[in-house]
Structures are given as C-alpha cells and as structure tokens.
C-alpha cells in the first residue's frame, strides 16, 4: 500500500461545458416541438388579437363555448369521429390479430408476398389508392356515409394492427400453448387463459394507436365522406383559414386522445416495436 | 512497459449510494499481470474504466510512470480495454475489427493488412480476415477482441472478465494464451474477475476489492496462507474459524490451546483460521484434539468430513482413501498443524463454515 | 409420413384461415382501389362505354409543364424534409441518450409529437409563420421588421419552407424515437471500445455509432420519404396552388368540374403509387441486407 496525496476533487471545464451545451440543446429541441402548439392555444382563448400584438388584447371563452355548444356541429362531429374510429378499431383487431398471429408464428410458402401486401398500404400514400376506391364506392353506394368512411380507414389501420401483432407473436413462445394443452386445457381455454393474457398488452397498444390513426385521417374521409361525413379533421381544416380561434380550440380537442393514448401506452412504446413504425400514418 | 499507480481513486455515481470505488491506492507493477478480484458490484470494472479513461474519477489520481493521465483523452492514453462481451463491431469484417485502432491512427492500409495477419497468427486464428463476427464462436470472438487490442501495442492492457463467457475447456486455452502473450509482449496487464481461482491461476498479483475498497493486494498464495481478514479467507473458499484469545504464539480456544506462530494481529481476542485441507485426521500431537466424525462425503479426488469438536463443528478435506479408515461416529484425534494456522482479528464476522459449499 | 402430411396440410389450412379476413380486406380495398385507378388512368371505363386502353392521360400529364413542376416540387419537399429530419433526429437522439435528471419527462414530450395529427401541426405552423403570424409579430416587437409584408414568405411560398418545417417538426420525434431505442439497446460500450482503441469522439461516432444506427435511420427514412411524398393535407393547407404538390394536383384534377381530367388524376395517383412501390422494394432489399448482417 502506498501513501496517497490528499485526494483532489476532479474538475474538468470541458465536461461542464458539454453538460451546459446538452441542456441548451434539449431546451431548444423541446421549444421547437412545442412551438406550433403555442399560437393554437392562444388563439383558442383570444377575442381580439390584431397584428402586431404579440398577445391578444382581449381574451374570451367564445371559441370554447362554440366548440362545446350543442347547437354547433362540433359535438356531433366529435361523436361521429369517435364512432368511426371505434368501428375501425374493432374491425382492425378482429382481422389483424389472427393475421398477425399467422405472420408472427408461422413460416409458410408465399409469406414474403403476404408481408409485402401488408406493408404496401402503410407505405403507399392514401391519396394514390383513395381515388380508385372512391370510384368503386360510388358505384356500390358506400360514398358519403359512415360505413364507407370506416371501410376506407381500414386501408392504413388494418396493416398497422397486423404488423404490431406480428411483432407481438414473434416474441411469443407458442410452447406455452402446448404446455396448456398437455395440462388438459382445450383449444378455446388455451386461447382464453394462456394466449390472450400473453398478447393482450400488444393488442391494447395496437388498438389505441389504430384508434388514433383513424381519428386523425383527413384525405380518406374528405374523398369518401364526400362532404356528408364531417369528422373533426374535416371541420378543423375548414376553420383553419377563416376562424383561427375556433380552429385553435378544435385543435386542442383534436390532440387530447393522442396525449391520453401516449400516457396509457408509453411504457410499451419503444422505437424497436412495430407500434412506432405505423405512427408515420398519424 | 508502464507502471500504473492509483492514488486515492474514488468514483461516486450517485450521492445517495456509497462510492463505487472508495479511496483506492494501488501500485501496479510494470510488465506484470495483475488481477482486480471481487464479487460483482465491488467496483472493479469501474476502476478499469477509469484507468481506460472511459469514466471520470470523482476524486483521486491515476498515474502512468509517475505522470497523471487524468487530462489525457481515452484515445490517447494507450490503455486499451477489452470488454467482457467482446463487442466486435458487427458490421465489420474480422480484419477491419482488428485493424480498427491502426486505422484511427492513420496507418497505411498495406501495413494494417500485414499487421492484422500477424495478429491473427498470434491468437491462433490465421485466415479469419474476411469472416464476420457473427460467424465466430465465443472463444474465437474473444481472441479477436484481444488481437484488436494488442495490435495498437497498448501501454496498459485492460481485460474485463476475459474468461467468464467461455466454457470450461476454452477457458483453459484462453488462460494459456493470455499468459503466453502477456509474457512475450511484456505489457502491463490488468484483468477483472469475480472468480478467485481465475485470479490465482493467471495473475502475478491480486488486488481484492469489497464494496469499492481495497482489502488486500498481494501475491496469490498470500490470500490462502495469510488473508488479512476472515472475510477474505471466506472469499477464497471455505475455512474453519475458531474464536479465542491469542497470547505469546498460542491460541486459547474453547476446544483447546493451539500453537500458532503466524498471526495477522497482536495479543488479545482473536480468530483462528485453518483451511479444511490443512486439517489432519487420525494424527496426534501437541496441536491435536479429539473430535467425533458426524458425516462424510466421498468425492472421488478427495473426501470431506464434518467433525464435531466440543460444541464446534469443523470441516476437513482429506485424501479420498481416508473414508476407509474413519466411519461416522468414530472419535479420532484431529491435528491442527501449527504452520497452517493463521490468526485473524476477532471482530471480523466470519461466515459459517460450509456457507461456501463448493467442493 | 402420411401423418406428417396431414399435419402440414392442417397447418396450412389454419394459416389461410387466420390470414383470410385481413387479406380479403386488403385485396378488395387496397388492390381494388389501385387496379380501379390504373384502369381508369388508362381510360378504361366500361360503365360509360370506354372499352379500350390508351395512354392519353399519361402522355397528357408528362407533357404538361405544370405536372413536371409539381413532380419536382414534391421531390424537393420529400427529399429536403427527410434529410433535415434525419440529421436533426439523430442529433436529438444523441442528445437524449445519456442519463440526466428529468429524462423521463423530456422523453415523454419528445414522443408526444408522435400522437399529434399532422393537420394540427400544419395549422400551428401556419399560425406561427404566416405573414401576420406569431413569429412575424415577435419580430415586429423586436423592431426587426415593420409590417407583415416584410416577413419572408414561409407559407404558400415557392420553396415550400412551411411544409418542410411542419414535416421536420413531426418527423424528428418519429425517426428520433427509433434511433434512440437502438442507441439505448446497443449501449455505449461499442463507442468505449472504439475510444479505447484510439478513436476520437468524431471517429467513434462516424465509424461505430453511425453504422449501428444506420439500419434504423434508413428504414425510418423510407417511411418518412414515402409519407412526405404522398401526403395531402399539409401541402393543401400550407402550399401554393401553383405549382401544387403532386397529391394536391391529383386531388384538384379529380375534383375538377371537367370530368375529362379524371383519368389524368388517376394517372397522377398511379405515379405516386409507382414511386412508393419503388421505395418499398428498396426498403425490403435494404432490410434484407441488414438482417443478413
């Protein structure tokens, strides 16, 4: 053992500078991300906000009253948007979970083609397909109503749900089911007590984001809804140029489910999960 | 050849927790192989990362040949660390992995190629240039990681658990290889391990750390023969402890008085320690007491006996033939050879014998 | 042998059963929509007596200067947005990687953008950057400009700056979250090895970190590029009417009172779909290359 000199606290100005730089960077990043929300919120509570005032000269709850007033069509529109999103979510789960299971658990001939077919609707922009779909839907009377709009929303949501579930099932060990069967569980009991609990968190996260993708859909609704189906984004777009106060308030309403979904699912959400890949569609 | 000196080296990650490394002083001999030994979480890897410059010490100093190197960036220290899980860059070929350090030093491609070939010969994997890391076994990856470090001719080579991810026979091969290369190249080498056997077999000197503190820095045999505490003795395998009073070279205990010329402490309350393999059954003499055999295990290369002496139970490991001589319930003389007894501080709290049940 | 065959047959059957509903929906809607669009773009429309194929719509749009300008503009928007988003997202992920106080909250705000619809971001960008927007007001307050007209055109502008800002705003967290997840799962040890072997900070990033995150960056970029290339509402809200981004132009043609413009709209939709298909193929190829490594 040697006798050491009294320990000196180690201080490095370079590393202090780097830490400061990091915080400046983080602050800048967050400011940039929050910035577009700021005028929306201010507009929603403003009454008079003329150029060049940085803040409104008068505030009012007018826009919010209009948004929640039953005489206005905002409430009806919110309800309609929710209804469509729920319908789309149910259908996506019903069709997407089995398909995800097939892709995640099994290898089969033609799997590559199936994967491409599932991936294609996520990458091919909605506008490229919706014009053709519109032509078909007009013929079959699916244009201008909720059913048609819900169906067309399946184009981005169903592949997304399938991909999420395929990822979930890929990490699921099917031997659990065999173990359950050997312990005397029937086919349905196995699904109910073994498989479902294992994949349930994935289904929930997938369903939440499916809801959100449908909730945020603009161009598909615009074309297939044909002015008859006025979801929130359609309304929001119409107010954006003419009524900034109402557009501001509507925006706040419009982003609430997303924040809620993120709070509910943040512990499952990481960049390597398929859940993130599909969010490119929101 | 570089002499490394740690002086009051301390690392605190979180003020709420005790220091990961606490006031560590260590003189690491140049050109020798030194082990940093300790249970997981004792601060050994942290110490190594500080030497490599990958972690900044909270306080204290690190000196290479007498000069502080704290302000020198990791890439300029010449202290190269080989990680436990090898960390070969997955997208690079083996040749590119080994040549990485030379490429960073802007060595010509031609020279890199020829030195990579030399290195592959050295680690006995000739012709592996164009393979990818995922095509190699764990042992081969370990050799490549070693070659990648050695090619830059480091002043100090730092190996983090170099053998722990290998299975038994690869471990022996790797031991031999590390020892051979280290002796040939004479690089000051520090390696981290949690396995006392590995430390003893490989190292010239062992530094034992518990909870970030240096317990003992010695040659390997000293940890067996003259541990500084009961805790250290326990870490190096099961030992029998008998409390008592030490005076004038004699240890007085409840089960008798023993001559004990070697001691870590002066006169007063003390703890006698003796390894199970040092206890002789059926041998009488001055340092012998009577004991009753409680049970025994035949283990092929040795035999193990549980022996009751007074109220104490001790363990003896003998050559296997002794199971034929003594049976359970027999009363036999039990000899404590004076040279094998080591007297420790009384207030250290020994683990009960047999807590370390490794055979 | 016979046993195995039936078992395999049963498995194939059950796989088909699992896939059938989803594939039916995708074939009917997605492929159906694409094929209908394709036929329509080739002037095939038996309902109104058009029973022959021709390429008139494609000839018409590719000889139209306006369409070419739209195509160039759309490429500019997609390429610039993707490039800037990638660079800033990687920087952001590096910034957010190490442990720091409040990391959880910062990460939450970072991923919050993922859930905010593009349309809301676009309106926010509009209210920030239009001539009388919040930024312009602040600059007036700072005496940097004196009237709205002095403010540089950032929305409805020829360079599509507002559109690009909106995409960058939205896609930094998207790419960033993916890169951050890779960085966190890979850990910092590879860089430590590189530093220990003599690489400086920049070399360690360039030679080690970047190749490790590249697969994630590339696959995220393909999604972002395809999205920014084909998205409608953002250029519809923030862009010029002429030249408009390709999806906006297609929509305008589709809703044109002159029904003769419809095949051209469909042709544009097919061009968008074709370019996206190329992207998917590139993506699959890249992902296969990276999986092999």
Distance CA C200, CA C24 (A): 55
Average pLDDT over residues B291-304: 92
In this structure, the answer to whether residues B25 and B87 fall within a common structural domain is: yes
Q: Is A13 on the interface with B (CB under 8 A)?
A: no
- Does A36 sit within 8 Å of C124, measured CB to CB? yes
In this structure, the answer to whether residues B171 and B273 fall within a common structural domain is: no
Distance CA B5, CA B62 (A): 6
In this structure, the answer to whether residues B23 and B54 fall within a common structural domain is: yes
Residues of B in contact with C194 (CB under 8 A): 89, 100, 104
- How many CA atoms, within 13 angstroms, populate the side-chain half-sphere of residue B68? 13
Q: What is the pLDDT of residue C289?
A: 56
Which residues of chain B have a Cβ shorter than 8 Å from any chain C Cβ? 49, 52-54, 73-76, 79-81, 83, 85, 87, 89-92, 100-101, 103-105, 132, 134, 148-149, 152, 158
- Least-confidence region, from A80-94, A188-202, C16-30: A188-202
Query: The CATH number of the domain where B151 resides is what?
Result: 3.40.50.300
Distance CA B114, CA B119 (A): 9
Nearest one of B12, B2, B1, B3 to B60, comparing CA atoms: B12
User: DSSP assignment, residue A61?
Assistant: S
Collapse the DSSP code of C208 into the 3-class scheme (helix H, G, I; strand E, B; otherwise coil) and give the result. Answer: helix
Q: Which chains touch C (3 or more CB pairs under 8 A)?
A: A, B
CA-to-CA dists, residue C282 to A123, B4, C41, C279, angstroms: 12, 53, 25, 5
CA-to-CA dists, residue A25 to A66, B225, C59, C92, C101, angstroms: 40, 58, 50, 8, 15
Q: Tokens for B133, please give them.
A: 């890391």
C137: left (phi over 0), alpha (psi -120 to 50) or beta: alpha
Q: For chain B, what is the mean pLDDT?
A: 89
- Does C133 sit within 8 Å of A98, measured CB to CB? no
Distance CA C154, CA C163 (A): 9
CB pairs under 8 A between B and C: 70
pLDDT tops 60 at residue C120:
yes
Distance CA A268, CA A200 (A): 12
CATH 3.40.50.300 is held by the domain C69-292: no
Burial of C138 (0-12, 13-18, 19+ CB in 10 A): middle
Q: Is residue B358 part of a domain?
A: no
Q: Is residue B353 part of a domain?
A: no
| Total-model pTM | 0.83
Q: Is residue B244 part of a domain?
A: yes
- Does C189 sit within 8 Å of B85, measured CB to CB? yes
Neighbours of A111 (CB within 10 A): 14
Among B190, B223, B256, give the residue marking a domain's end. B223
Report whether A197 contacts A185 (CB < 8 A): no
Burial of A25 (0-12, 13-18, 19+ CB in 10 A): middle
- Does A6 sit within 8 Å of B8, measured CB to CB? yes
CB pairs under 8 A between A and B: 40
Q: Is residue B354 part of a domain?
A: no
Report whether B221 contacts B50 (CB < 8 A): no
Average pLDDT over residues B301-309: 93
Mutate: best of B54, B60, B69, partner A, most A CBs <10 A: B60
Interface of B with A in 187-226 (CB under 8 A): 214, 217
CA-to-CA dists, residue A69 to A62, A65, C68, angstroms: 10, 6, 47
Q: Which residues pair with B34 in a beta bridge?
A: B190, B205
Tens digits of per-residue pLDDT, A243-274? 999 999 999 999 999 999 888 876 665 555 55
Burial of A233 (0-12, 13-18, 19+ CB in 10 A): buried
Average pLDDT over residues A159-171: 91
Distance CA B209, CA B34 (A): 13
Q: What is the pLDDT of residue B64?
A: 95
- Does C132 sit within 8 Å of A271, measured CB to CB? no
Nearest one of B253, B231, B243 to B348, comparing CA atoms: B231
How many domains is chain B built from?
A: 2
- Does B104 sit within 8 Å of C203, measured CB to CB? yes
Q: Tokens for A271, please give them.
A: 């960049």
Q: For chain A, what is the mean pLDDT?
A: 86
Neighbours of C189 (CB within 10 A): 17
DSSP C173-186: HHHHHHHHHHHHHH
Q: What is the pLDDT of residue A19?
A: 82
Report whether B56 contacts B48 (CB < 8 A): no
Mutate: best of C88, C123, C224, partner A, most A CBs <10 A: C123
Nearest CA in chain A to C126: A36
pLDDT tops 50 at residue A61:
yes
pLDDT tops 70 at residue A279:
no
- How many CA atoms, within 13 angstroms, populate the side-chain half-sphere of residue B209? 31
- How many CA atoms, within 13 angstroms, populate the side-chain half-sphere of residue C105? 6
pLDDT tops 90 at residue B351:
no
Q: Is B59 on the interface with A (CB under 8 A)?
A: yes
Report whether A142 contacts A151 (CB < 8 A): yes
* Percent of chain A residues past pLDDT 90, beyond the cut: 53
Distance CA C261, CA C61 (A): 10
Q: Please, what are the domains in chain A?
A: 21-49+56-65 (no CATH), 73-281 (1.10.3720.10)
Q: What is the pLDDT of residue C87?
A: 96
Collapse the DSSP code of B218 into the 3-class scheme (helix H, G, I; strand E, B; otherwise coil) and give the result. Answer: strand
For chain A, the residue count is: 282
Residues of B in contact with C203 (CB under 8 A): 75, 104
Tell me phi and psi for residue B107, to 5 degrees: -75, 145
Query: Residue B327 belongs to what domain range?
Result: 238-345
Distance CA B86, CA B139 (A): 10
Q: What is the pLDDT of residue A179?
A: 85
CA angle at C273 for the pair C269 and C279, rounded to the nearest 5°: 150
Neighbours of A78 (CB within 10 A): 18
Q: What is the pLDDT of residue B69?
A: 93
Q: For chain C, what is the mean pLDDT?
A: 89
Q: Is A267 on the interface with B (CB under 8 A)?
A: no
Q: What is the pLDDT of residue A14?
A: 60
Mutate: best of A28, A129, A221, partner C, most C CBs <10 A: A129
Q: Tell me the nearest-neighbour CA distance from B158 into chain C, angstroms.
A: 10
Query: The CATH number of the domain where B330 resides is what?
Result: 2.40.50.100
* Percent of chain B residues past pLDDT 70, beyond the cut: 96
- Does B74 sit within 8 Å of C195, measured CB to CB? yes
Q: Which chains touch A (3 or more CB pairs under 8 A)?
A: B, C
Q: Is residue B230 part of a domain?
A: no
In this structure, the answer to whether residues B310 and B201 fall within a common structural domain is: no
Mutate: best of B5, B8, B213, partner A, most A CBs <10 A: B8
Residues of A in contact with B26 (CB under 8 A): 2
Nearest CA in chain C to B76: C198
Q: What is the pLDDT of residue A13?
A: 55
Residues of A202-230 as b/e, b for ≥16 C-beta within 10 angstroms?
bbebbbbbbbbbbbbbbbbbbbbbbeebb
pLDDT tops 70 at residue C18:
yes
Residues of C in contact with A31 (CB under 8 A): none
* Nearest Cβ partner for A10 among B7, B59, B214: B59
- Least-confidence region, from A271-280, B178-187, C123-132, C168-177: A271-280
- Does B91 sit within 8 Å of C293, measured CB to CB? yes
Tens digits of per-residue pLDDT, B196-232? 888 998 999 999 999 989 999 999 999 988 898 888 8
pLDDT tops 60 at residue C4:
no
- Does A99 sit within 8 Å of C23, measured CB to CB? yes
- Does B25 sit within 8 Å of A4, measured CB to CB? yes
Q: Tell me the nearest-neighbour CA distance from B300 into chain C, angstroms.
A: 44
For chain B, the residue count is: 359
Neighbours of C147 (CB within 10 A): 12
In this structure, the answer to whether residues B50 and B190 fall within a common structural domain is: yes
Q: Is residue B231 part of a domain?
A: no
Nearest CA in chain C to A114: C23
Residues of A in contact with C245 (CB under 8 A): none
CA-to-CA dists, residue C42 to C49, C59, C60, C277, angstroms: 14, 11, 12, 19
Q: Is residue B211 part of a domain?
A: yes
User: DSSP assignment, residue B264?
Assistant: S
Distance CA B126, CA C117 (A): 57
pLDDT tops 90 at residue A68:
no
């Amino acid at each position: 053992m040697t006798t050491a000199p009294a320990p000196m606290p180690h201080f490095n100005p370079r590393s202090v500078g780097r830490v400061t730089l990091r915080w400046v960077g983080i602050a800048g990043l967050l400011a940039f991300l929050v910035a577009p929300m700021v005028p929306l919120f201010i507009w929603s509570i403003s009454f008079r906000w003329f150029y060049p005032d940085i803040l409104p000269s008068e505030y009012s709850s007018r826009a919010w009253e209009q948004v929640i007033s039953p005489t206005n069509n905002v409430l009806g529109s919110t309800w309609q948007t929710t209804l469509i999103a729920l319908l789309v979510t149910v259908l996506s789960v019903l069709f997407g979970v089995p398909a995800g299971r097939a892709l995640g658990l099994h290898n089969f001939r033609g799997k590559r083609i199936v994967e491409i077919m599932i991936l294609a609707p996520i990458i091919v922009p909605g506008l490229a397909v919706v014009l053709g779909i519109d032509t078909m839907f007009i013929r079959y009377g699916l244009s201008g109503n909720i059913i048609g709009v819900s169906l067309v929303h399946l184009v981005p949501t169903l592949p997304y749900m399938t991909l999420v579930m395929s990822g979930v099932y890929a990490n699921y060990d099917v031997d659990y089911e065999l173990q359950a069967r050997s312990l005397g569980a029937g086919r349905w009991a196995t699904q109910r007590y073994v498989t479902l609990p294992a994949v349930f968190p994935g289904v929930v996260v997938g369903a939440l984001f499916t809801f959100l993708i449908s909730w945020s859909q603009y161009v598909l609704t615009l074309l297939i809804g044909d002015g008859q189906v006025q979801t929130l984004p359609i309304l929001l777009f119409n107010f954006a140029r003419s009524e900034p106060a109402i557009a501001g308030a509507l925006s706040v309403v419009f982003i609430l489910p997303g924040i809620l979904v993120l709070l509910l699912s943040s512990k499952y959400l990481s960049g390597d999960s398929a859940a993130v890949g599909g969010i490119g569609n929101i | 050849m570089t002499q490394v000196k740690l002086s009051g080296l301390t690392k605190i990650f979180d003020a709420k927790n005790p220091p990961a490394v606490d006031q560590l002083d260590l003189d690491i001999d140049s050109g020798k192989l030194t082990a940093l030994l300790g249970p997981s979480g004792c601060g050994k890897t942290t110490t190594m990362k500080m030497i490599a410059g990958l972690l900044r010490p909270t306080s204290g100093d690190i000196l290479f040949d007498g000069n502080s190197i704290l302000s020198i960036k990791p890439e300029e220290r010449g202290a190269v660390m080989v990680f436990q899980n090898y960390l070969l860059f997955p997208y690079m070929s083996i040749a590119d992995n080994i040549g990485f350090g030379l490429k960073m030093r802007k060595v010509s491609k031609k020279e890199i190629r020829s030195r990579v070939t030399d290195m592959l010969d050295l680690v006995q994997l000739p012709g592996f240039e164009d393979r990818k890391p995922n095509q190699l076994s764990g042992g081969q990856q370990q050799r490549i990681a070693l070659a990648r470090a050695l090619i830059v001719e480091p002043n100090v080579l730092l190996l983090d658990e170099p053998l722990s991810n290998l299975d038994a026979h690869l471990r022996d091969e790797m031991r031999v290889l590390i020892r051979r290369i280290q002796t040939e190249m004479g690089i000051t080498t520090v390696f981290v391990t949690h396995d006392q056997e590995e430390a003893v077999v490989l190292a010239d000197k062992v530094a034992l750390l518990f909870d970030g503190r240096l317990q003992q820095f010695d040659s390997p045999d000293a940890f067996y023969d003259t541990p500084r505490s009961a805790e250290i003795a326990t870490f190096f395998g099961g030992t029998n402890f008998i409390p008592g009073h030490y005076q004038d070279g004699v240890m007085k205990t409840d089960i008798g008085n023993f001559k004990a010329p070697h001691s870590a402490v002066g006169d007063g309350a003390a703890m006698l320690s003796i390894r199970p393999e040092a206890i002789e059954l059926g041998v009488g003499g001055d340092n012998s007491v009577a004991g009753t055999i409680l049970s025994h295990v035949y283990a092929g290369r040795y035999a193990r006996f549980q022996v009751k002496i007074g109220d104490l139970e001790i363990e003896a490991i003998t050559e296997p033939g002794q199971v034929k001589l003594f049976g359970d319930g027999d009363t036999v003389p039990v000899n404590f050879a004076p040279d094998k007894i080591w007297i420790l501080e009384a207030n250290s709290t020994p683990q009960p014998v047999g807590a370390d049940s490794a055979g | 042998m016979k046993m195995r065959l039936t078992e395999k047959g049963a498995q194939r059957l059950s796989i088909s059963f699992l896939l059938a509903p989803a594939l039916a929906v995708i074939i009917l809607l997605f492929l159906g929509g694409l094929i209908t669009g394709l036929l329509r773009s080739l002037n095939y429309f038996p309902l109104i007596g058009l029973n022959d194929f021709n390429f008139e719509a494609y000839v018409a749009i590719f000889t139209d200067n306006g369409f070419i300008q739209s195509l160039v503009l759309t490429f500019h928007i997609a390429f610039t947005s993707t490039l800037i988003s990638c660079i800033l997202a990687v920087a952001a992920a590096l910034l957010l990687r190490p442990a720091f106080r409040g990391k959880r909250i910062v990460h939450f705000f970072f991923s919050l953008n993922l859930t905010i619809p593009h349309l809301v971001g676009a309106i926010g960008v509009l209210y920030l950057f239009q001539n009388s927007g919040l930024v312009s007001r602040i600059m007036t307050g700072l005496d940097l400009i004196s009237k709205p007209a002095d403010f540089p055109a950032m929305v409805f502008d020829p360079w599509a700056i507002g559109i690009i800002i909106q995409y960058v705003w939205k896609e930094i967290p998207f790419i960033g979250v993916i890169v951050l997840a890779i960085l966190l799962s890979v850990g910092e040890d590879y860089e430590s090895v590189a530093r220990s072997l003599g690489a400086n900070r920049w070399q360690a990033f360039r030679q080690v970190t970047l190749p490790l995150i590249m697969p994630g960056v590339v696959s995220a970029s393909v999604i972002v590029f395809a999205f920014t290339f084909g998205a409608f509402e953002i250029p519809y809200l923030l862009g010029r009417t002429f030249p408009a981004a390709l999806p906006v132009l297609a929509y305008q043609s589709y809703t044109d009172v002159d029904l003769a413009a419809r095949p051209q709209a469909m042709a544009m939709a097919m061009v968008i779909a074709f370019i996206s298909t190329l992207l998917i193929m590139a993506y699959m190829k890249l992902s296969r290359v990276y999986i092999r490594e």
